[in-house]
């Protein structure tokens, strides 16, 4: 240890005292006695959600009944909530729709993107990509007679130099969901476009965690979930972004009646709605969708540059805690020390990750693990404090030092990413 715990305590207090986002923490109902570092799996409950949901259930559904599709503008919610997400990801209005799961949105986006590059037979995905992204690349490829290539982002340039003219779509995430490594969206999008391919980004671990600039970077398609850094609730609807320049020609195979140009004419043949509305597909789960909308109000007036600055301060501080308090106990940081390559979580490697995370949870520190040996600590600048992280690091030190945990080599932590 190079610094005494007392020094870290003063540092945490100073950093928290100077935090311009500190008041935003009150927009979340965090349980007493819990340090919550798993908002990268499921965001906590925003204070705005319970009253909105009570009103939606009692008044809008209970009293308004079917009329609320008009009187409470339920019908407009997918695009309205999509636009609210759009403000956080650098998307001008009319390009983002909220609804369905990330998996379903990925299926539509991959199919749509591949169809825009006929004659190109390759879908590129990341072998480190979240499983659903890889499964759907394989499935869409099989349906369309394409092939999948698994290429790490760091190898993309070399790969495209050889095979770029065969690539239809490059489907990546800016964040490695295990290590928290941040890939450079700008350069990867540029490389993709230079090869004549389309860029599809999965923003599950990025939306709400860092500034994104989809329009500015010329991203073609993007998807993401509503339940991690957007704190929209368990299984909150996902979102799909399609750049406006594709709207005239873009097609999705998921032809639901909500996405018809004239849905209430109830015609026999499908005519896609103009713009992003064709991605509405079927009737959305309104309770979950309106909970997400309420949750997004936690971002009102929050500058994403401030979110990024605080997130880096938090992860940097936790890496410092790990160095000072945990290095001698066998914890090895795998999240890059370079801020430019660090998203909004810190992953530590330890052979007893499973037991340590279980033991921490019993002591009020909620984080998660990825088999076989990664402990993941997600931070969210809207509610995480430096003091939270110091508390977590200290308890982890105590737990590891005393050996008070299940030493199973691994385990299926039944949590949802």
Position 414 contacts its own copies (CB under 8 A): yes
Position 264 contacts its own copies (CB under 8 A): yes
The answer to whether 90 touches 216, Cβ cutoff 8 Å, is yes
Q: How far is the CB of 416 from its own copies (least distance, A)?
A: 5
Position 138 contacts its own copies (CB under 8 A): yes
239: annotated active-site residue: no
Residue tagged active-site, from 25, 117, 228, 320? 228
For residues 8 and 286, which CB has a smaller minimum distance to its own copies in the complex?
286
Q: How far is the CB of 287 from its own copies (least distance, A)?
A: 5
Contact set for its own copies, span 28-47 (CB under 8 A): 29, 31, 34, 36, 38, 41-42, 44-45
| Closest residue by Cα to residue 274 from 259, 284, 264, 263 | 259
Question: How many C-beta neighbours within 10 Å does residue 267 have?
Answer: 12
Binds its own copies (CB under 8 A): choice among 273, 287, 329, 334: 287
Position 387 contacts its own copies (CB under 8 A): no
Phi–psi pair at 141, nearest 5 degrees: -60, -45
Cβ partners under 8 Å of residue 266, min gap 6:
257
202: annotated active-site residue: yes
Contact set for its own copies, span 231-250 (CB under 8 A): 233-238
* Distance separating alpha carbons of residues 129 and 123, to the nearest angstrom: 13
Binds its own copies (CB under 8 A): choice among 130, 239, 241, 331: 130
For residues 249 and 412, which CB has a smaller minimum distance to its own copies in the complex?
412
Report residue 387 CA to chain centroid gap. Answer: 24
Position 261 contacts its own copies (CB under 8 A): no
> Which range binds its own copies by CB under 8 A, 3-11, 154-162, 167-175, 230-238?
230-238
Q: How far is the CB of 401 from its own copies (least distance, A)?
A: 25
Cβ partners under 8 Å of residue 133, min gap 6:
106, 125, 126, 171, 173, 202
Tokens for 154, please give them: 């760091």
Size of the residue set binding its own copies (CB under 8 A): 91
Residue tagged active-site, from 107, 130, 239, 383? 130
Position 356 contacts its own copies (CB under 8 A): no
Position 334 contacts its own copies (CB under 8 A): no
Residue tagged active-site, from 28, 107, 177, 227? 227
130: annotated active-site residue: yes
**What single DSSP character describes residue 327?**
G
Q: How far is the CB of 57 from its own copies (least distance, A)?
A: 6
> Which range binds its own copies by CB under 8 A, 154-162, 260-268, 333-341, 398-406?
260-268
Q: Is 241 helix (H, G, I), strand (E, B) or coil?
A: strand
The answer to whether 130 touches 238, Cβ cutoff 8 Å, is no
* Distance separating alpha carbons of residues 41 and 415, to the nearest angstrom: 8
**Nearest-5° Cα angle at 67, 61 to 73:** 85
Q: What is the 3-state secondary structure (H, E, C) of 11-34?
A: HHHHHHHCCCCHHHHHHECCCCCC
Binds its own copies (CB under 8 A): choice among 297, 306, 387, 415: 415
Q: How far is the CB of 63 from its own copies (least distance, A)?
A: 5
* Distance separating alpha carbons of residues 96 and 223, to the nearest angstrom: 9
Phi–psi pair at 376, nearest 5 degrees: -110, 130
* Distance separating alpha carbons of residues 378 and 393, to the nearest angstrom: 13
Contact set for its own copies, span 58-97 (CB under 8 A): 58, 60-63, 65-70, 74-75
228: annotated active-site residue: yes
Q: Annotated catalytic sites, by residue?
A: 130, 202, 227-228, 376
């Amino acid at each position: 240890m190079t610094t005494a715990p007392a020094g870290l305590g003063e540092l945490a207090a100073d950093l928290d005292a100077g935090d311009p986002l500190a008041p935003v923490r009150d927009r979340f109902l965090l349980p007493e006695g819990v340090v919550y570092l798993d908002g990268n799996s499921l965001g906590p409950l925003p204070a705005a959600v319970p009253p909105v949901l009570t009103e939606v259930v009692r008044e809008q559904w209970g009293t308004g009944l079917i009329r609320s599709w008009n009187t409470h503008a339920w019908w407009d919610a997918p695009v309205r909530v999509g636009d609210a997400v759009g403000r956080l990801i650098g998307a001008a209005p009319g390009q983002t729709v909220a609804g369905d799961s990330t998996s379903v949105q990925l299926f539509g986006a991959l199919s749509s993107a591949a169809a825009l590059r006929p004659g190109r037979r390759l879908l590129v995905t990341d072998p480190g990509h979240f499983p659903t992204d890889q499964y759907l690349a394989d499935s869409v490829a099989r349906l369309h007679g394409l092939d999948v290539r698994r290429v790490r982002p760091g190898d993309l340039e070399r790969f495209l130099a050889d095979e770029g003219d065969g690539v239809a779509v490059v489907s990546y995430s800016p964040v490695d969901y295990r290590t928290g490594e941040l890939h450079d969206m700008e350069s990867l999008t540029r490389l993709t476009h230079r090869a004549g391919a389309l860029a599809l980004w999965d923003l599950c671990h990025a939306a709400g965690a860092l500034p994104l600039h989809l329009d500015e970077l010329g991203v073609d398609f993007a998807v993401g979930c509503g339940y991690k850094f957007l704190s929209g609730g368990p299984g909150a609807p996902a979102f799909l972004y399609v750049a406006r320049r594709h709207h005239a020609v873009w097609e999705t195979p998921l032809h639901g009646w909500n996405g018809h140009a004239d849905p209430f004419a109830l015609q026999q043949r499908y005519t896609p709605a103009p713009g992003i509305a064709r991605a509405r597909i079927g009737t959305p789960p309104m309770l979950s969708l309106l909970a997400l909308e309420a949750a997004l109000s936690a971002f009102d007036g929050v500058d994403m540059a401030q979110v990024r600055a605080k997130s880096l301060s938090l992860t940097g501080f936790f890496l410092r805690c790990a160095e000072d308090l945990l290095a001698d106990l066998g914890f090895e940081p795998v999240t890059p020390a370079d801020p430019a390559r660090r998203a909004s979580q810190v992953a530590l490697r330890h052979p007893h990750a499973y037991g340590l995370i279980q033991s921490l949870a019993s002591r009020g520190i909620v984080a998660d693990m990825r088999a076989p040996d990664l402990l993941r600590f997600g931070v969210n600048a809207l509610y995480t404090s430096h003091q939270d992280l110091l508390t977590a690091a200290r308890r982890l030190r105590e737990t590891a030092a005393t050996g008070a945990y299940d030493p199973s080599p691994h385990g299926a932590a039944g949590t949802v990413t």
